[in-house]
Amino acid sequence: MRPISKMSVLVTGGGSGIGEGIARHFCAAGARVTISGRRADKVDHVATSLGDNCRAVVGDITIAADRLAMTAAAVEHGNGRLDVLVNNAGNMYRGPLAELDEQKLMDVFHSNVIGAMMLSQAALQHLVDSSGAIVFMGSVHSQRAFPGASPYAATKGALETLTGVLAAELGPQGVRVSCVRPGGVFTEINQRAGLFDDDTARQRLESLAPAHALGRLGTVEEIAEAVEYLARAQWATGNVLTIDGGLGLGVTNA
C-alpha cells in the first residue's frame, strides 16, 4: 500500500468546508494535494495556507475543459501520477416540489452527479495506472427525509448507487470506488443554500445535535479521516461509509 506521504490527491470543492478539511488532512500527512473550485480567492487562500504540498486550480467540474485541466494539474503536481480522486464539489438547492425550478434542478444534477462522473472519466487512466481510488461525497439526505431537500437528496442517492456500479466496473482494472455519507457537519454550503442565513446560523445547526446518538455535530476532520481510510484500504470498494454520529439511528430525544 502506497504511504499517504507518497500519494497524489485531487479534491474538488477544496476551497471550503469538507473539501478544505480533506485537503488539510492529506497535506498534513505529506501527500501532494491539488484542490479545485470555482472561486479563485477561496482555493488560492487554502493552497497558500498549506504550502508547497498543495496546489490550487480554478475550475468548474461541469465544464469539460476545466475537468481536463484539473486532472492534468493534479498529475503534474503529483510528479506524474494520481492516486486518489475525491469528488467532493457540489451544489445545493432547496424548495418544495410545487415551486421547483427545472433549471436549478438541472444545475444541481450537473454539478453533483454528472460533473463527478465525467471528472472520474477524465482521471480514470491515471487511476488505473496507480491502482488508485475514487471517493464520492454522499449525504445522510439519501437516507433521511428532509422536506424541501428533494433535489439534493436525489443527487446524493444517485452517487451512492453509482458507487456500487463503478466499483464493479472498475475493480478488474484495480480502481477502488467508495463513498462517504456524512451526517450533520457545519459547512459553508449550508449557509449558501440559505438554511442558516442569519447571525444565529451555528446555533440553529447545533440545535440538531441531539438527533445524533453522540449528541453533537461532526467535524470536517472526522469526515477527512473516513476519506483517508477509503483511499488507503486495499480491499474496500463499493462501500458507502456512514459517518453521522448515529443520526441514522433515528434518535428521538431531539
Structure-block grid coordinates of residue 42: 477561496
- Annotated active-site residue 152? The verdict is yes
Of these residues, 93, 109, 136, 152, which one is catalytic?
Answer: 152
Instruction: Concatenate the DSSP letters of all residues of 36-95 into one string.
Output: EES-HHHHHHHHHHHGGGEEEEE--TTSHHHHHHHHHHHHHHTTS---EEEE--------
φ, ψ of residue 78 to 5 degrees: the values are -90, 20
Q: At what angle do helices 150-170 and 102-109 cross, to 10 degrees?
A: 30
Strand partners, 176: 133
Nearest to 231 by CA among 119, 88, 92: 88
Catalytic residue list: 152
